[in-house]
């Protein structure tokens, strides 16, 4: 099977031009295909050089890459008479005509929005008595590889798909340099010593450019997200935000290859975020900065992991916060407001909540320690040290813990710490510990499951 595929993403169509075996009596050739078939001109292609006879024929420029980058065929003729040489040349010409007709689809121009070109020169299914397609030689990692199936695309998703199908995949930039390298290889075998030296230098230059272009990874921001999470411990809520921000970036620019992401893409993403609203209000500069930080951190991980060589988000500055200071952060509760909150909550829980003691004590811990809600809810009895007057905030379970249903969740690794117990809070916790013998500080609190237990959110319900 010899074919040329154009994959057109906008309409999800594949136009496949299969080999036309006109010489073998194929009855399934359409009229359109016959019109596109290669038609050889009548010629003997016999040339004389230094008293010797050669079959010499130029390869159409549009077909050269399918024949190893050759520009012409030059074959010495062995016939002793003009008739023998004529017959020999006609046999060779017929063989080349057949080879060109097999790849006649190469004459069809690809759609302007084609995302990938696949060239399949596999000899499978071809008559054994006919000419077999020659593999195309490419340079990769310092080695010359002969392949029958290859693809050209700049789309990272299609690149991964083609690689998984066993194709030799190149970007458009690499494909151009591969052609230059092939031409230099052909030229280095002909001409004068000076011509060969120049061709060799051109080949070395093309080889360096090939290595640079081949270093492009097929990974994208979305494809490296799971690996980033494996390396960086994050809470479920933080991870959801990271996924949201990266998906927003991909929705704006497409799922670009990491090497294709530029500072312009990041700038446009920030401008796009500034135009978004939440509850009728523009996103705050803090929210936009979080989006930028996500892209920066993910690109930094990709660079450290060798998926890309640059981090274009490094020099992008977050937008300035021009709001009045009173609007930039949450206002702290005043002392009268705290007292009012405790009184109202205690009165409400005393009537409607069977776990009022846990709720009231947890509220006091939040007020006096500044701990996050999930940090307070998942405290164990062993995390309370009344002698040292500290609360241990950690994600490391004790050796004797058997409570697998209540995972310890931290915002990040920096959240592990010890929090001092205020003198006003110490008697409240001491009294609370006398009410039960559970190893959990708040036994009535249950994790609010969302998916797997490891991704649970623990909260007061």
Q: Which CATH architecture has domain 221-327?
A: Orthogonal Bundle (1.10)
Mean pLDDT of all residues belonging to the chain: 75
Residue 246 structure tokens: 């990266």
pTM of the model: 0.44
**Among 5-14, 49-58, 95-104, which is the least confidently predicted range?**
5-14
Cβ atoms of residues 188 and 199 within 8 Å: yes
Residue 95 structure tokens: 């063989």
**Cβ–Cβ contacts within 10 Å for residue 260, how many?**
17
Confidence of residue 28 (pLDDT cuts 50, 70, 90): very low
pLDDT tens-digit readout, 178-210:
888 888 887 777 777 888 888 888 888 888 888
CATH number 1.10.443.10 given to 335-458: yes
pLDDT score at 207: 86
pLDDT score at 8: 37
What integer is the mean pLDDT of 330-350? 81
Q: Which helix (H) or strand (E) holds 294?
A: helix 285-304
Q: Which helix (H) or strand (E) holds 83?
A: helix 82-102
pLDDT score at 17: 28
How far is the C-alpha of 2 from the C-alpha of 18, rounded, in Å? 6
How far is the C-alpha of 443 from the C-alpha of 446, rounded, in Å? 8
Cβ atoms of residues 368 and 432 within 8 Å: no
Provide CB contacts within 8 A for 361, sequence distance 6+.
428, 429, 432, 442
Cβ atoms of residues 269 and 261 within 8 Å: no
| Nearest in space to 258 (alpha carbons), one of 225, 294, 217 | 217
Q: Is 407 helix (H, G, I), strand (E, B) or coil?
A: coil
| Domain-wise residue ranges, the chain | 3-214, 221-327, 335-458
Buried b (16+ CB within 10 A) or exposed e, 295-331: bbebbebbeeeebbeebbbeeeeebeeeeeeeeeeee
């Amino acid at each position: 099977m010899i074919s040329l595929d154009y994959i057109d993403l906008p309409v999800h169509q594949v136009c496949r031009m299969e080999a036309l075996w006109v010489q073998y009596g194929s009855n399934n050739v359409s009229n359109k295909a016959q019109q596109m078939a290669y038609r050889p001109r009548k010629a003997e292609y016999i040339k004389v050089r230094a008293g010797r006879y050669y079959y010499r024929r130029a390869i159409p420029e549009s077909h050269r890459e399918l024949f190893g980058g050759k520009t012409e065929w030059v074959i010495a003729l062995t016939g002793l008479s003009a008739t023998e040489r004529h017959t020999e040349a006609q046999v060779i010409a017929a063989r080349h005509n057949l080879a060109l007709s097999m790849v006649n689809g190469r004459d069809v121009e690809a759609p302007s929005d084609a995302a990938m070109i696949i060239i399949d020169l596999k000899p499978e299914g071809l008559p054994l008595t006919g000419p077999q397609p020659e593999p195309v030689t490419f340079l990769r990692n310092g080695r010359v590889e002969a392949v029958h199936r290859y693809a050209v695309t700049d789309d990272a998703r299609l690149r991964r798909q083609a690689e998984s199908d066993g194709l030799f995949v190149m970007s458009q930039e690499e494909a151009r340099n591969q052609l230059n390298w092939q031409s230099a290889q052909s030229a280095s075998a002909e001409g004068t010593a000076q011509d060969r030296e120049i061709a060799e230098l051109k080949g070395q230059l093309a080889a360096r450019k090939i290595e640079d272009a081949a270093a492009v990874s097929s990974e994208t921001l979305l494809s490296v997200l799971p690996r980033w999470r494996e390396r960086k411990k994050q809470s479920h809520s933080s991870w959801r935000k990271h996924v949201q921000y990266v998906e927003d970036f991909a929705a704006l620019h497409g799922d670009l290859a990491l090497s294709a992401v530029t500072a312009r893409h990041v700038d446009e993403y920030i401008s796009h975020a500034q135009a978004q609203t939440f509850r009728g209000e523009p996103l705050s500069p803090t929210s936009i900065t979080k989006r930028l930080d996500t892209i920066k951190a993910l690109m930094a991980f990709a660079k450290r992991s060798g998926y890309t060589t640059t981090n274009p988000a490094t020099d992008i500055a977050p937008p300035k916060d021009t709001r009045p200071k009173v609007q930039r952060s949450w206002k702290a509760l005043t002392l009268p407001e705290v007292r009012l909150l405790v009184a109202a909550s205690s009165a409400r829980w005393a009537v409607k909540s069977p776990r009022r003691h846990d709720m009231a004590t947890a509220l006091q811990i939040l007020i006096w320690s500044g701990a996050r809600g999930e940090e307070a809810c998942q405290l164990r009895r062993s995390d309370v040290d009344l002698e040292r007057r500290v609360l241990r905030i950690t994600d490391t379970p004790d050796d004797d813990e058997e409570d697998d249903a209540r995972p310890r969740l931290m915002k990040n690794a920096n959240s592990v710490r010890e929090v001092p117990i205020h003198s006003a809070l110490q008697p409240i916790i001491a009294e609370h510990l006398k009410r039960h013998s559970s190893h959990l500080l708040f036994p009535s609190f249950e994790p609010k499951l969302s998916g797997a237990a490891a991704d649970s959110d623990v909260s007061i319900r």
